[in-house]
Structure 1
Amino acid sequence: MLKKRIIFTLLYDQGTFVLSRNFDLQKVGNLSWLKENYDFSRVAFSIDELIILDVSRGDRDEEKFLKHVSSLSEECFIPVAAGGGIRNIEQARQLLYSGADKIVVNSLLSNDEDVIQEIAFEFGWQCLVFSVDVKRTKDGLRCFIENGTIMLKTSLPEYLKKIQLLPIGELYLNSIDRDGTGQGYDYDLLDALPNPTHNPVIIAGGAGKDAHLIEGLNDDRVDAVATAHLFNFVGDGLINARNTLYKTGMNLAKWDIQTSMNLKNCLEGIGDNKTIEKII
């Protein structure tokens, strides 16, 4: 049985990390601010995966984003997925060369499905995460692309069926309506999934406290929960949330945070041989 996962999503906008509420962005701080104020390397040991998304509303500076991905991937010993505005295989290749383990795509099914096939062929389908942004409309749940600015005509169930035919590793289901509200996940999105669903499902949008993570992971259709709420979960928030989930008997990977940090320090040359021997 696959272990459940906690994922933190960092939203990046032209050199700054941001909070999002219903896809409206609020600037929080740059990379130095993130590391100084939130002890990010420590927080990284309380999650199973990090997702970094370039949600820039203006022109994207791809080189700067790649540098941020590289810097963050060096901070943590967990899988890192990155994406945002990917239009071709070269952009995906550069993200992987910069330290990302997975590529997140969103608009390619509508804009250029062949690129998905190319990425899967060169790097393997398991490295692809397909992100679906969903919003309630008068016609029901609809999918949106291009940072939530374009609504697709296809219904959510039909769109998810199309995605399931693609060579992807995971599905990231994100509620625009719940995004940044802290009101909990929208489980109606899961009701639209094909039965059976062949890909692991990550649910996102709405987590504001430990109980939301627990509720999400207790749903049999959910393989991982994601949160992008910096103020609610960074600091001790994610560490405390993981400890709470351990106490419920949740099937999460287990490790000692302090031991992991000591090992990281030793590998970086900060510790000494005696510390390494003690850890091993």
Structure 2
Amino acid sequence: MLKKRVIFTLLYDNGNFMLSRNFRLQKVGDMKWLKKNYNFSHIAFSIDELIILDVTRGERNEEIFYEHVQLLNDECFVPIAAGGSIRNLEQARKLLHSGADKVVINTLLAEDLGVIAEIAREFGQQSIVASIDVKLINGEFTVWTNNGSINQNTSLTKWLENIESLPIGEVYLNSVDRDGTGHGYKTELIEQIPDLFSMPVILAGGAGKYSHFLEVLADERVDAVATANLLNFIGDGLEKSRQELLDEDFNLPVWDLTLATDLKNCL
């Protein structure tokens, strides 16, 4: 049986890290703030992966993003997935050469499947995470792209059926309606997953406390949970949440916290 995973997501905007609520962004702090409030050499033992998404709405400084991905990779001892407006193979290549283990794609699913095939040929399909942003519109869960601004007029179920034949490693399923609310995951999204869907599913959008993780990870159709809530899990919030899940006998990777302390003291 595959182990469940807890994933922390960072939302990045030209050197700053953001809070998001229903995809409306608010600046929290820069890299110095992040390093001060989140000691990644330590909390890396409270999470299984780190996702870094460039959500910049205006002109992007891609080179700075690559540099910051590399800096976080140097401090964090877990796999990293990174993405945001990937439109071609070279952008994916630069992220993977900057220390990311996977790239996260979203709008590319609607615009250019050929680029996805190119990335998979060079780096393998396990290196690709398909991010899917979902809104509930008139009683139907529909897929949106371009930072949640363009309605693809396709149901979530149909979208998942369409992408299953693509060379993709896993799916990051994000509820725009619950994004940043702390009210818990939109568990109805799980019911939209086709019965025979074979890709691992990461559920995101809405986590505010450990019980939200517990509720979703108990479902066999969900392989991982993700949160981008920088403030709710500041300090030892992630560590406590992970320990609560382990106390409930969830099948999570078990990290040696003694080693974590030793590493923290060395850095």
Answer whether TM exceeds 0.5 for this pair. Answer: yes
1:154 shift after superposition: 1.7
Query: Is the 1:52–1:69 contact (alpha carbons within 8 Å) kept by the matching residues of 2?
Result: yes
Q: What CA distance in whole angstroms lies between the structure 1 residues aligned with 2:263 and 2:153?
A: 51
1:255 shift after superposition: 1.5
Q: Deviations over 1:154-187 (max 9, x none)?
A: 2221111011111110000000000000111111
Q: Which has the higher contact order (CA 8 A, sep 6+)?
A: 2
Q: Return the letter of the residue paired with 1:214.
A: L
- Residue equivalent to 2:83: 83
- Residue equivalent to 1:117: 117
Query: Is the 2:18–2:26 contact (alpha carbons within 8 Å) kept by the matching residues of 1?
Result: yes
The root-mean-square deviation of aligned C-alpha atoms, in Å, is 1.3
Query: Which segments of 5 or more consecutive residues in structure 1 lack a partner in the other structure?
Result: 272-280
- Residue equivalent to 1:180: 180
Q: Deviations over 1:219-254 (max 9, x none)?
A: 111000000001111310000001111100000000
- Residue equivalent to 1:277: none
Q: What CA distance in whole angstroms lies between the structure 1 residues aligned with 2:39 and 2:114?
A: 40
Query: Is the 1:43–1:234 contact (alpha carbons within 8 Å) kept by the matching residues of 2?
Result: no
Query: Is the 2:37–2:234 contact (alpha carbons within 8 Å) kept by the matching residues of 1?
Result: no
Query: Is the 1:15–1:64 contact (alpha carbons within 8 Å) kept by the matching residues of 2?
Result: yes
Query: Is the 1:9–1:51 contact (alpha carbons within 8 Å) kept by the matching residues of 2?
Result: yes
Taking the TM superposition and a 5 Å limit, the aligned residue runs for 1:118-267 are 118-138=118-138, 140-263=140-263
- Residue equivalent to 1:11: 11
Q: Return the letter of the residue paired with 2:57.
A: R
- Residue equivalent to 1:276: none
Q: Return the letter of the residue paired with 1:211.
A: S
- Residue equivalent to 2:107: 107
TM-score (norm 1): 0.93
Query: Which segments of 5 or more consecutive residues in structure 2 lack a partner in the other structure?
Result: none
Q: Quick one: percent identity of the two aligned structures?
A: 59
1:100 shift after superposition: 0.1
Q: Deviations over 1:176-211 (max 9, x none)?
A: 000000111111211111211111000000000010
Query: Is the 1:35–1:41 contact (alpha carbons within 8 Å) kept by the matching residues of 2?
Result: no
| Change in CA separation of 1:73 and 1:261 when aligned onto 2, cut-off 3 Å | farther
Q: Deviations over 1:29-63 (max 9, x none)?
A: 00111101232321122100000000001111100
Q: What CA distance in whole angstroms lies between the structure 1 residues aligned with 2:138 and 2:87?
A: 31
Q: What CA distance in whole angstroms lies between the structure 1 residues aligned with 2:263 and 2:139?
A: 53
TM-score (norm 2): 0.97
Q: What CA distance in whole angstroms lies between the structure 1 residues aligned with 2:94 and 2:261?
A: 29
Q: Return the letter of the residue paired with 1:60.
A: R
- Residue equivalent to 1:32: 32
Deviating runs (4+, > 3 A) in structure 1? none
